[in-house]
Chains A and B, each alone.
Chain A
Amino acid sequence: MSITSFTPWEGLVGGLLIGIATVAWLWLYGRVTGISGILGGLVLKEPAGDRSWRAWYLAGLIGGVFGYEWLTRHGLPGTHFSVDLQASWPVLLAAGFLVGVGTRLGRGCTSGHGVCGIARLSKRSFVATGTFMLAAFATVFVVRHVVGG
C-alpha cells in the first residue's frame, strides 16, 4: 500500500467545488447530481432527449481533470493528479462490477446519497451512506489486515 499525506485544504477546496457544481445543477434544473444515476440514464431506458446532457456531464468530469492538470502546470499550487492503483486487474474488474450493481440497486453513490442526499437530509441517503461506508471500512480491513496482514 502507498502512504498518502493528509491534505485538508486541498480536500476542503475540492469539496467546495463539488458542492458548487451540485448547487448549480440544482438551482438551474432542479435535480440532484448523482454520477451513477447520470451514467445509468445513458445505459438504461430514458427518454431519447434525456441522453445527451448526461454524456456531456461525464465528459466534463474528465475535462475537469485535464483542466486541473493544466492549472497545476501554470502556477496553481498543488500536485499533478495521481492515480495510484492499489488492486490487480481482476480485482479492479470485479470491484467495478460490484460498484455498478450496488449503485443501481441502492439508487445512488457517494455523490447522490453521500453529498446530495445528506444535503436533502434524506433518511434513505443517511442509511445508504452509513451502509456503504461501513461495508467499505470492513472490506479494506479484511483486504489489508486479515488477508494481506
Chain B
Amino acid sequence: MNGARKWRSPIALAAGLVFGLGLGVSGMLDPAKVLNFLDLAGRWDPTLALVMGGAVLVSLPAFQLAMHGRYRPLLAADWDLPTRTVIDIRLVGGATIFGIGWGLGGFCPGPAIAALASGMWPVVGFVATMTFGHWLAGQWPAAQVRDSHVSGVPAHAHG
C-alpha cells in the first residue's frame, strides 16, 4: 500500500482541482446565487438544484456499483464508507444549525474554501470561524464517545 499512500496527496490535489473547477463553472462560489436559490419567495434562481442534480446523476450509479458490486477501490484495501444509520438529535440539530449558517452567509464549506481564491478578507473570516466552530464542536465529549471509531474506520469519513 506504500504506492497508494504516496499517490494520495497528488490525487487529492487533482480531485480537488476538478471539484473546484465545478464550483467555478456552476457559479456556486457566489453567495448571491446560492441565496437566490434559497429565497423561494424572491427572484428564485434554481441553478443550485441542477448542480446537485448533475453531481448526483454521476455519483449515484458509481456509489451503488461500489456498494453492491464485486469491486474494490483501486488504491485502498476496501471501501471506507460511513456506516452509521441512527437518526438522532445531533444529526437533525447539527443539520439545522448548518442550514441557518448557510442561509445567513450563502456559503457552505466547499464554496467557502474555494472562494478563498477571491482573496477577500470576509471570506477568510468566514473560513476561520467555520474551522474554529468545527474544531469546537469536535471537543464535545459526547461526540468523542458516541462517534468513536468503529473497527478503525474514522466515523467522520463523512462530511
Cβ B51 vs Cβ A14 within 8 A = yes
Contact with B along A83-122 (1 / 0, CB 8 A): 1111101011111111111111111111111111111111
A75 at the interface (CB under 8 A from B): no
Of the four ranges (under 10, 10 to 19, 20 to 34, 35 or more), the interface on chain A belongs to: 35 or more
Please report A residues at the B interface, Cβ cutoff 8 Å. 1-8, 10-41, 43-44, 46, 49-50, 52-54, 56-69, 78-79, 81-87, 89, 91-124, 127-129, 131-141, 143-145
* Overall SS of chain A's interface: helix
Cβ B94 vs Cβ A104 within 8 A = yes
Given A5-B45, A24-B18, A102-B94, verify A94-B104 contact (CB < 8 Å).
yes
Chain A residues positioned under 8 Å from B41 (CB to CB): 141, 144-145
Cβ A95 vs Cβ B125 within 8 A = no
Chain B residues positioned under 8 Å from A138 (CB to CB): 99, 103
Cβ B74 vs Cβ A27 within 8 A = yes
Which of A2, A53, A94, A113 is packed against the most chain B CB atoms within 10 Å? A53
Please report B residues at the A interface, Cβ cutoff 8 Å. 4-5, 8-33, 35-36, 38-43, 45-60, 62-64, 66-67, 72-76, 78-82, 84-87, 90-110, 112-118, 120, 122-123, 125-138, 140, 143, 147, 154-159
Q: How far is the CB of B15 from chain A (nearest CB, A)?
A: 5
Given A13-B26, A89-B122, A108-B159, verify A98-B100 contact (CB < 8 Å).
yes
6 contacts between A and B (CB under 8 A): A1-B35, A11-B47, A22-B59, A27-B73, A79-B27, A139-B100
Chain A residues positioned under 8 Å from B102 (CB to CB): 95, 99, 110, 132, 135-136, 139
Cβ A40 vs Cβ B56 within 8 A = no
Give Cα A121 to B60, complex, Å: 8
Contact of A112 among B13, B20, B58, B158 (CB under 8 A): B158
